[in-house]
Structure 1
Amino acid sequence: MVAPLQSTTPLPDTIAGLLGLSGTVGQIVGGLIGAFIIANLLLVQTAVAGPWAKRKITAAFTDRIAVNRVGPFGLVVIVADAVRLLSKELVIPEGVDRPTYDLGPLFVPFSALLGFAVIPMGNGIHLADPETGLVFAFAASSIASLGLVMMGYGSNNKYSLLGGLRAIASNIAYEIPLVVTAASVVVFTGTLQMSEIVAQQTEPLLSIAGVTIPQWFAFVNPFAFVLFVIANLAEVGRNPFDVPEAPTEIVAGYQTEYSSVYFVLIYLGEFIHIFLGGAIAATLFLGGPAGPFLPGFVWFTIKIWAFYLFTQWARSAVPRLRIDQFLDIGWKGMLVLSFANLALTAIIVGVIA
């Protein structure tokens, strides 16, 4: 049995109540503390995912030995990498556009963290629950594309510029199918509010031998789920869709000229975006934090880490596409299939209604 969320009170309101604050002051203080807590939970997971888990998972897929010398199971490599990268000299090439060059890396992690503001992560663990929450999540994640273009243009490097242009091409070609596929879930639920989308997935779909299968939209419409996951891979820049930063063609694309703390920000934003992509997929198709026995936040964490594991498998197992193949799949394949899925969903819901 899948238990529904027990509380819809946003985390800032809960914090303000515990502190005995009310009104505008309570909203501001509760919001700041709540955002600090959520951001740090995500940053800790990202710190584990980037320097350590990525290496361990890739090594397991490719039958190699990953980091195992620095601390137990190599975990202290997280601290070692942080010190190593942050202590490197920040090299600023000549001729860069400084405001654009400096602001670009900030947009990437900021947009991903902003998207988590409307994601229900457990029993009362969400910062806000607006009626247009799904639109907000997609809009926030799209800000990263602006940062990639700024980095590509501001670096005064032809490889970086090509990487920025490819990022825009990727965004246009795959974000439209991503949003259209998500719209099919909205047709089912009749709402854009994230908590309501999760709540509707707690209803039972069917029972087999006494086991109740929840009404997760991945079970209701598996075709839409597959489309969403593929488009999501392109959004987070994982194989076979990592063309904007293809090292075999354009060195490192938009991040070629970045080092030290700027590189850390780009690297950090990349992994938070993977978790945001997994969080949106889990919310729309896998019941969000809903699950049996364990607390909601634990289930939510398991689901976003499962998506992270899938992206790392794709990175190790799937070869990179050429830029023409990359765009053809987006425009001629994903776009057509996503609209077909939306139309079929609308017809089925219309007939049922």
Structure 2
Amino acid sequence: MNLQTVLPDTISGLLGLEGIVGDVVGGLIGAFLIANIMLITTALAGPWAKRKITAAFGDRIAVNRLGPFGLLVIIPDAVRLLSKELIVPEGVDRPAWDIAPIVIPFSALLGFAVIPMGNGIQLADPETGLAFAFAAASIASLGLVMTGYASNNKYSLIGALRAVAANIAYEIPLIVTAASVVIFTGSLQMSEIVAVQAEPLVTVAGVTIPTWFAFVNPFAFVLFMIANLAEVGRNPFDIPEAPTEIVAGYQTEYSSVYFVLIYLGEFIHIFLGGAIAATLFLGGPAGPFLPGFVWFTIKIWAFFLFTQWARSAVPRLRVDQFLEIGWKGMLVLSFANLVLTAIIVGVIA
């Protein structure tokens, strides 16, 4: 699988453009395509798939009146939300209050810039791609703090502080667990991480099992999935929103298009978490028979299904339990996994 030719190069080649003009035009068109793919995916996930999946777990029907399987409910939902009045509470810090809803989805879309989605479907492939993806996703924490601080609402501020506590407690185990994959591959470059996993691990009865790190180190995969679930704020880790405790947390005071942007950012972050997990542990876009992009789509939707299952089936933790699991459990286990991985790789090498 050749992932070295990134999408902007392909686009500029098709348009017959060279040099800096080709790089700029190819990059802009590529970014537009990737962003729209993720926005369409999120539009399906938020208004429609979330309802259908949650209803299935509760033995209900959910949306089924508009279009096949109720798919067209997306349109009236979008009109309803965007046409609502944008209410600005008194005493808000207006610049921060206005900027925060843009920061949250932007950070998630930025993370997709380095994710290999298929053969040549990758916006950029820097040598520090994994570090870039985590750094881009972390920008959302700034947006969450801004929403809570700027809203002039105690519930919003509590939600923002909880979000920061969650990110600190679980982002460290998340990154440390990802570092164990870097030790195996010897690279932070996303395409290289995918390429290493394409190597055969073992052949059983004529079936070749690839070197997906979920097979090589399932303990690290489980740790990463748990920390990832906390990062995207799904049960049992939905502490920052916790509707039964703090209204809606950091987004309590937002309505209309601002609410849509925050809601959009939340779901894009879920798919970004799934994309990073797929790249690190499930071979990225690799898979038999079907095109790579199809396999990539299946894997990120599988992660979305996992988050919705957790949301429907797992009760919320208390704040003290949430932090204790992060600091006393996940952090210790992630470092233990990192040390053990280093020892194993050192012995094999």
What is the TM-score with the length of structure 1 in the denominator? Answer: 0.98
Are residue 341 (structure 1) and residue 342 (structure 2) matched? no
Residue number among 183, 189, 195 corresponding to 1:193 in the alignment: 189
**Counterpart Cα distance in 1 of 2:207 and 2:24:** 45
1:41 aligned partner? 37
1:6 CA drift (Å): 2.9
Asked if the contact 2:3/2:116 (under 8 Å) is kept, the reply is no
Alpha-carbon distance in structure 1 between the residues aligned to 2:270 and 2:314: 17
Task: Show CA shifts across 1:133-176 (max 9, x none).
Answer: 00000000000010000000000000000000001000100000
Who is 1:142 aligned against?
138
> Counterparts of 2:161 and 2:107 in 1: how far apart (Å)?
19
Aligned partner letter, 1:311:
T
Q: Are 1:175 and 2:166 counterparts?
A: no
The gaps in structure 1 that reach 5 residues or longer are none
- Whole-angstrom distance in 1 between the partners of 2:232 and 2:344: 31
What's the % identity of the aligned pairs?
85
User: How far apart, in 2, do the equivalents of 1:218 and 1:9 lie?
Assistant: 26
Q: Distance in 1 between matches of 2:54 and 2:205?
A: 38
Distance in 2, matches of 1:346 and 1:257, equals 47
CA distance in 1, matches of 2:17, 2:61: 52
The amino acid that maps onto 1:210 is G
Is contact 2:45–2:267 with CA below 8 Å preserved after alignment? Answer: yes
Separation in 1, partners of 2:318, 2:39:
33
Q: What do the CA deviations read for 1:56-93 (whole angstroms, capped 9, x no partner)? A: 00000111110011222111110110000000000000
**What amino acid is the match of 2:14?**
L
TM-score norm. by structure 2 comes to 0.99
Counterpart pick for 1:102 among 98, 103, 127: 98
CA distance in structure 2 between the aligned counterparts of 1:71 and 1:17, rounded to whole angstroms? 40
Aligned twin of 1:24: 20
The residue identity in structure 2 corresponding to 1:116 is F
Give the AA of the match of 1:93: P
Matched, 1:290 2:286: yes
Counterparts of 1:100-249 in structure 2 under 5 Å? 100-249=96-245
Cα distance in 1, alignment partners of residues 64 and 115 from structure 2 = 35
CA RMSD, aligned part only?
0.5
Aligned residue in 1 for 2:303: 307
Partner of residue 74, structure 1: 70
Instruction: Tell me what 1:264 maps to.
Output: 260
1:243, 1:178 → 2: CA distance?
Answer: 18
Q: 2:319 matched to which residue of 1?
A: 323
1:174-204 alpha-carbon deviations (Å, 9 max, x no partner)? 0000000000000000000000000000000
State the distance in 1 between where 2:3 and 2:184 align. 23
SS at match of 2:208: strand
- Return the alpha-carbon distance in structure 1 between the equivalents of residues 76 and 142 of structure 2: 31
**Inter-partner Cα distance in structure 2 for 1:112 and 1:225:** 22
Q: Which amino acid counterpart does residue 166 of structure 1 have in structure 2?
A: R
- The answer on whether the counterparts of 2:3 and 2:191 sit within 8 Å (CA) in structure 1 is no
Alignment partner of 1:264: what SS? Answer: helix
Q: Distance in 1 between matches of 2:145 and 2:112?
A: 23
Q: Distance in 1 between matches of 2:85 and 2:25?
A: 37
The runs of 4+ residues in structure 1 deviating greater than 4 Å are none
Amino acid in the other structure paired with 1:301: T
- The alpha carbon displacement at 1:8 in A equals 1.6
Once the two structures are superposed, residues 265-320 of structure 1 have per-residue CA deviations (whole angstroms, 9 ceiling, x without a partner) of: 00100000000000000000000001111000000000000000000000000000
Task: Report what 1:277 is aligned to.
Answer: 273
What SS class does the counterpart of residue 213 from structure 1 fall into?
A: strand
Q: Cα offset for 1:7? A: 4.1
Aligned length: 349
What SS is found at the alignment partner of 2:209?
Answer: strand
